[in-house]
Amino acid sequence: MKKVAFYTLGCKLNYSETSTIGRMFEDRGYQKVEFNQQPDIFIINTCSVTENADKKCKKIVKEANKINPDGYVAIIGCYAQLKPKEISEIEGVDAVLGAAEKFRLIDIIGDFVKEPKQASAKVYNSNIEEAIDYHTSYSLNDRTRTFLKVQDGCDYPCAYCTIPLARGKSRSDTIQNVLKAACEIANSGVKEIVLTGVNIGDFGLQHDERKETFLELIKALDEVEGIERFRISSIEPNLLTDEIIEFVAQSKRFVPHFHIPLQSGSNKVLGLMRRRYKRELYADRVTKIKELMPDCCIGVDVIVGHPGETDEEFLTTYQFLNDLDISYLHVFTYSERPNTTALSIKPVVPASKRAERSKMLHILSEKKRRFFYEQQLSKSFTVLFEEDIENGLMQGFTENYVRVVAKYDPLLINETKKVNLVAINEEMLVEVEETYEELVHA
């Protein structure tokens, strides 16, 4: 029995796909092992959102070669679709598979026998237009919550982004298939599912025809027995409708937590980025959420240093975020990506300024998170406790995404308990009372 190990770089979507491909290997008789357990085959699922992600891929290949010089190394994922030739020339790589090939890698490669040293790896990489099939994917046995992919690809040509080039056009699973996967996940004992995709608000497109909607999907999922929580990973502000917000506010299983990409608080920069909304719409979405769910957690993606972002435009973004009733930021420093329209935009922001702006927003994020946590103290929430134990303590998340810490109790692992939030510790974790209320689920 050959041993196979996986390493995932990048987003929740990649984790869901890696886990699914791993189960495909196990179904074919392979033994799934950890990366450092002398596997015969290494599968590295790559990201290419930033230049740093590309460098990480090379580092992981080098480590794989150290662990087992005779191991077969296959590279899949976004970086593999965008730069197959570059990856094929990395020492130790045996195969590179693009977006249309990665779910067929067992059939394409066969017995994964490492050939004598060759100048470059074999490349199986079709034009991205050929990536039209949809593959149901979800993570399992990796952590307390499961990432369930419901949508792939993107039709939005944002100036800075290579995702449409790496994953192809927007396409979706069917509601029937998603429900089937959710039931399988529920039967495995998982309590929380995070819905993920490249642009999940665009759910429903099948072969360029809209068959269903995201609202219809979440209404159907709300009826799935055995899953206590559904969380929406990230949704574009222009696709986050009043109807979706209103449904989440009164649903049985969808939690009060939204992650909404903003990217810039300047309308001028949003235009340069080719985003499909203005800051006024974004502010309106936040206001609507908070009116219906005052304790809702709202996370925000922001890009600093995009070409054309002057000091004035950045300060506009900073002030906009400072004034918004949001809970935390994910800050991305702009990096140049080949074949994107942002490369032609001037002026280019120096790297030192990008770093300075990133630092400012990271500090703002910490202030926002602390303020949000302070607002939740002395209130009761449910916590889903995780199995990662450190120094006799365990952690978990409330439904509105407050990370809590409690004394380790094996009976609490993968259980939801009602708790009172009492204090914020030095690590920015919220301490809870040591008494837990049993939850009675309908």
pLDDT at 235 exceeding the cut of 80: yes
Beta pairing class for 403-407 and 393-398: antiparallel
Average pLDDT value for residue range 203-215:
92
**Structure confidence at residue 396 as a pLDDT band (50, 70, 90):** very high
What pLDDT, in 10s, does the model give residues 312-370? 999 999 999 999 999 999 999 999 998 999 999 999 999 999 999 999 999 999 999 99
Q: Are 189 and 170 in contact (CB under 8 A)?
A: no
CA–CA dist 87, 381 (Å, integer): 47
Average pLDDT value for residue range 289-296:
98
- Better pLDDT: 297 or 130: 297
Could you tell me if residue 414 is left (phi over 0), alpha (psi between -120 and 50 degrees) or otherwise beta?
Answer: left
- pLDDT mean across residues, the chain: 94
pLDDT at 92 exceeding the cut of 70: yes
Strand ranges, E, within 221-309: 229-232, 257-263, 297-304
CA–CA dist 170, 245 (Å, integer): 23
CA–CA dist 138, 152 (Å, integer): 13
What pLDDT, in 10s, does the model give residues 236-287? 999 999 999 999 999 999 999 999 999 999 999 999 999 999 999 999 999 9
C-alpha to C-alpha distances, 35 to 38, 44, 97, 100, 321, nearest whole angstrom:
7, 10, 20, 25, 40
* pLDDT for the residue 439: 55
* pLDDT for the residue 364: 98
pLDDT at 118 exceeding the cut of 80: no
Cα 429 to the center of its chain, rounded Å: 22
- Better pLDDT: 111 or 254: 254
* pLDDT for the residue 207: 82
**Structure confidence at residue 442 as a pLDDT band (50, 70, 90):** very low
* pLDDT for the residue 436: 64
* pLDDT for the residue 263: 98
Beta pairing class for 229-232 and 209-210: unpaired
pLDDT above 90 covers a percentage of the chain that reads 85
* pLDDT for the residue 48: 80
Average pLDDT value for residue range 304-316:
98
pLDDT at 49 exceeding the cut of 80: no
For the chain, the farthest-separated pair of C-alpha atoms sits apart, in whole angstroms, at: 65
- Better pLDDT: 33 or 391: 33
**Structure confidence at residue 142 as a pLDDT band (50, 70, 90):** low
Q: DSSP letter for 325, please.
A: -
pLDDT at 97 exceeding the cut of 70: yes
Cβ-in-10-Å burial (0-12, 13-18, 19+) of 305 comes to buried
Q: Are 191 and 384 in contact (CB under 8 A)?
A: yes
* pLDDT for the residue 363: 98
